[in-house]
């Protein structure tokens, strides 16, 4: 709970709590009533997170320009200083960290101020130029609501915190090309440098019924020319937001710098559309400036996604400190806009994830950054526990509303698995039809998170294992249907197949629970599902965690380790905003 400011204007006084004007000070004349008021408000804010990044108040969306510079990690993000809703006047808020988990806020890095960003400073990326010189390319919404690309540089490069940024006087550097609408040209990627020294960057767009990554080239990072063809475009897609284009090593979990081009890397193209982050692995043919995907986007459930739940506008960066590539994304709310006004905030950032190419070369693997483990507190574990059909057991001894769980399942007699109905190809639909209450053979088995003791409220993260001819198919689901007794929440069920062979590998799950967000990594990070839930009763100490098996065949929990998670230090930025009356946020 952030009690931001007391303002005394003349004889009147009010209190800003999470950015909302909530009470006259008459009510708070003595310390006792202030304390009870705080307790009351705490009870009203059970959905704020303990270790996921969120701003103290207001609306937050895309991560922008993440980078590692002179010993400091930087996270900029889309932020509305005026409201818990998205709107005009978006800024680049700025936080810094030494470990990607604990963050301290700094002054906003970019705020609308010039003709080329008069309305808003929208998403973009950072690039570290040779000589350790960081720069930002971002989308400005100009006074005519056109999207243009702008450059900003640090005022003082020797300041590791990069607090002040200066907008280039010659902005904008790129404007919507012919045939591209003024509102379909945004979100520059991190730029990369070709072997001949040419800088390249792609901008998300939509033209001629295709979503695309328009390629621009430059010799000096200031003068940019559009390449004849987009780096890649796809007919099956809408407007591409926040594209990302980066190399991945074919034989190592290490990351590589965005400019690396050699035979030991492949390239990944990511585009955000249709509320999801889709990606495809492929080959970057430098000479032709073409990206050749192994598989084109299909606009169906067959496309690869970073996350099969809520995870949007992600951005990756190469972390030179630990030679890894890190991915972060915006996780939006599933409650109503009215709820967001009441809470005074909206939007979270995912836990930063390390990403690398799976050994099979077909897809990426993701895992929470190792620094997260530093928040692990009390641990409980279970080994070799048989889960008979219909059984449920409580994992007690940890803070179930704030936890990190790793669990591995062994499936004896795999051959008894039921055959998959091959007419069902969309995993999300299967998870929805065959939710956690529907008994199969192997599955549903998994975890019941943020559950009441009597299981009235529960979010089930579970697996089903099917036979498919001589092979097996492992389905992972996150079922939010019973996540809350509250109505008017989006309780969509999510699902994904996991590319593992249960004959050779145990079915594993790592789940991060943090009050209103659940991030689940199946099959050692081969499929990930993030969800937002808002239990009415299963909050704080009333939240419980269970392992369950609702399949007709028994399964064995070969290993379960669960940790209480400590709170991360995430402090507010340097500037406190006051409420603008233009943006009505009255309760």
Ligand X SMILES: OC[C@H]1O[C@@](CO)(OC[C@@]2(O[C@H]3O[C@H](CO)[C@@H](O)[C@H](O)[C@H]3O)O[C@H](CO)[C@@H](O)[C@@H]2O)[C@@H](O)[C@@H]1O
Bridge partners of 271? Answer: 278
CB of 449 to ligand X, least distance (A): 27
SS3 153: strand
CB of 110 to ligand X, least distance (A): 12
Residue 78 in the binding site for ligand X (CB under 6 A): yes
What residues between 250 and 289 interact with ligand X by CB under 6 A?
A: none
Specify the DSSP element, H or E, that contains 403: strand 402-410
Number of residues in contact with ligand X under rule CB under 6 A: 13
Residue 104 in the binding site for ligand X (CB under 6 A): no
Specify the DSSP element, H or E, that contains 407: strand 402-410
Instruction: Please say which residue, 83 or 549, places its beta carbon nearer to ligand X.
Output: 83
Instruction: Please say which residue, 86 or 104, places its beta carbon nearer to ligand X.
Output: 86
Tokens of 463: 């697996």
> Would strands 345-346 and 58-69 be described as parallel, antiparallel, or unpaired?
parallel
CB of 313 to ligand X, least distance (A): 4
**Contact status, residue 132 vs residue 126, Cβ threshold 8 Å:** no
Instruction: Please say which residue, 113 or 437, places its beta carbon nearer to ligand X.
Output: 113
Bridge partners of 72? Answer: 69
Q: Contacting ligand X (CB under 6 A), which of 74, 186, 515, 544? A: 186
Distance CA 523, CA 510 (A): 9
Residues 292-331: x/- map of binding to ligand X (CB under 6 A)? ---------------------x------------------
Nearest-5° Cα angle at 336, 334 to 337: 120
Instruction: Please say which residue, 273 or 462, places its beta carbon nearer to ligand X.
Output: 273
Distance CA 72, CA 67 (A): 8
Residue 205 in the binding site for ligand X (CB under 6 A): no
Nearest to 280 by CA among 303, 260, 301: 303
CB of 258 to ligand X, least distance (A): 20
CB of 492 to ligand X, least distance (A): 18
Residue 187 in the binding site for ligand X (CB under 6 A): yes
Residue 84 in the binding site for ligand X (CB under 6 A): no
Nearest-5° Cα angle at 520, 518 to 521: 155
CB of 123 to ligand X, least distance (A): 3
Token pair 């295709």 is found at 210
**Contact status, residue 44 vs residue 32, Cβ threshold 8 Å:** no
Distance CA 53, CA 51 (A): 6
**What secondary structure does DSSP assign to 75-134, as a single string?**
EEEEEETT-SS--SS-EEEEEEESSSSSBEEEEEEE-S-SGGGSSEEEEEEEEEETTTEE
Instruction: Please say which residue, 239 or 400, places its beta carbon nearer to ligand X.
Output: 239
CB of 424 to ligand X, least distance (A): 31
Residues 464-503: x/- map of binding to ligand X (CB under 6 A)? ----------------------------------------
Residue 38: CB partners within 8 Å, gap ≥ 6? 1, 3
Tokens of 248: 């991945």
Residue 82 in the binding site for ligand X (CB under 6 A): no
Residue 61 in the binding site for ligand X (CB under 6 A): yes
How far apart, in Å, are the Cα atoms of 520 and each of 231, 472, 523? 33, 21, 10
CA dihedral 201, 204, 207, 209 (to 10 degrees): 130
Instruction: Please say which residue, 70 or 181, places its beta carbon nearer to ligand X.
Output: 181
Residues labelled as active-site residues: 62
Residue 54 in the binding site for ligand X (CB under 6 A): no
Tokens of 297: 């986007």
What residues between 121 and 160 interact with ligand X by CB under 6 A?
A: 122-123, 139
Residue 348 in the binding site for ligand X (CB under 6 A): no
Residue 90 in the binding site for ligand X (CB under 6 A): yes
Residues 212-251: x/- map of binding to ligand X (CB under 6 A)? -----------------------------xx---------
Instruction: Please say which residue, 340 or 479, places its beta carbon nearer to ligand X.
Output: 340
332: left (phi over 0), alpha (psi -120 to 50) or beta: beta
Instruction: Please say which residue, 62 or 457, places its beta carbon nearer to ligand X.
Output: 62
Residue 86 in the binding site for ligand X (CB under 6 A): yes
CB of 366 to ligand X, least distance (A): 20
Distance CA 363, CA 281 (A): 7
Instruction: Please say which residue, 77 or 165, places its beta carbon nearer to ligand X.
Output: 77
Distance CA 520, CA 404 (A): 10
For binding to ligand X (CB under 6 A), which residues are involved? 61-62, 78, 86, 90, 122-123, 139, 186-187, 241-242, 313
């Amino acid at each position: 709970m952030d009690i931001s400011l007391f303002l005394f204007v003349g004889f009147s006084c009010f209190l800003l709590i999470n950015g909302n004007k909530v009470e006259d000070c008459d009510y708070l004349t003595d310390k006792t009533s202030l304390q009870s008021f705080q307790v009351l408000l705490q009870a009203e804010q059970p959905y704020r997170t303990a270790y996921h990044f969120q701003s103290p108040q207001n609306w937050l969306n895309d991560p922008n320009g993440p980078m590692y510079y002179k010993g400091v990690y930087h996270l900029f993000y889309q932020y509305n200083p005026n409201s818990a809703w998205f709107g005009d006047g978006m800024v680049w808020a700025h936080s810094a960290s030494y470990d990607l988990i604990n963050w301290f806020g700094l002054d906003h890095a970019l705020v609308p101020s010039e003709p080329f960003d008069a309305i808003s400073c929208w998403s973009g990326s950072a690039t570290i130029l040779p000589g350790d010189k960081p720069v930002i390319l971002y989308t400005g919404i100009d006074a005519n609501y056109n999207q243009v690309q702008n450059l900003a540089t640090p005022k003082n490069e020797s300041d590791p915190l990069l607090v002040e940024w200066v907008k280039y006087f010659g902005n904008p550097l790129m404007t919507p090309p012919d045939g591209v609408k003024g509102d379909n040209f945004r979100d520059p990627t991190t730029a990369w440098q070709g072997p001949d020294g040419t800088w390249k960057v792609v901008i998300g767009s939509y033209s001629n019924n295709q979503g695309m990554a328009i390629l621009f080239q430059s010799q000096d990072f200031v003068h940019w020319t559009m390449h004849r063809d987009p780096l890649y475009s796809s007919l099956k897609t809408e407007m591409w937001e926040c594209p990302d284009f980066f190399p991945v090593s074919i034989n190592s979990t290490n990351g590589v710098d965005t400019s690396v081009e050699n035979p030991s890397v492949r390239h990944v193209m990511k585009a955000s559309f249709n509320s999801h982050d889709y990606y495809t692995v492929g080959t970057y043919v430098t000479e032709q400036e073409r990206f050749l995907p192994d598989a084109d986007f299909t606009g169906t459930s067959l496309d690869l996604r970073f996350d099969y739940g809520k995870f949007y506008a992600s951005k990756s960066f190469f972390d030179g400190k630990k030679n890894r590539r890190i991915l972060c994304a915006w996780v939006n709310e599933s409650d109503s806009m009215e709820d967001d006004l009441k809470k005074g905030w909206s939007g979270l950032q995912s836990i930063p994830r390390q990403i690398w190419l799976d050994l099979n070369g077909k897809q990426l693997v993701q895992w929470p950054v190792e620094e997260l483990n530093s928040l692990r507190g009390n641990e409980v574990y279970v080994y070799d526990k048989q889960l008979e059909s219909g059984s449920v057991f409580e994992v007690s001894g940890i803070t179930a509303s704030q936890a990190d769980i790793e669990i591995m399942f062994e499936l004896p007699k795999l051959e008894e698995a039921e055959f998959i109905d091959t007419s069902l190809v969309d995993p999300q639909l299967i998870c929805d039809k065959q939710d956690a209450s529907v008994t199969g053979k192997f599955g549903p088995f998994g975890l019941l998170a943020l559950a009441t003791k009597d299981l009235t409220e529960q979010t089930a993260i579970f697996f089903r294992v099917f036979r498919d001819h001589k092979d097996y198919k492992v389905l992972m689901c996150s079922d939010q249907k019973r996540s809350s007794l509250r109505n008017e929440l989006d309780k969509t069920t999510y699902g994904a197949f996991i590319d593992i062979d249960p004959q050779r590998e145990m079915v594993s799950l790592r789940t991060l629970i943090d009050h209103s967000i659940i991030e689940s990594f199946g099959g050692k990070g081969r499929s990930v599902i993030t969800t937002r839930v808002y239990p009415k009763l299963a909050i704080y100490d009333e939240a419980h965690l269970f392992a369950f098996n609702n399949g007709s065949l028994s399964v064995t929990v070969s290993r379960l380790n669960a940790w209480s998670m400590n709170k991360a230090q995430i402090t507010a930025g340097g500037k406190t905003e006051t409420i603008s009356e233009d943006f009505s946020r009255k309760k």
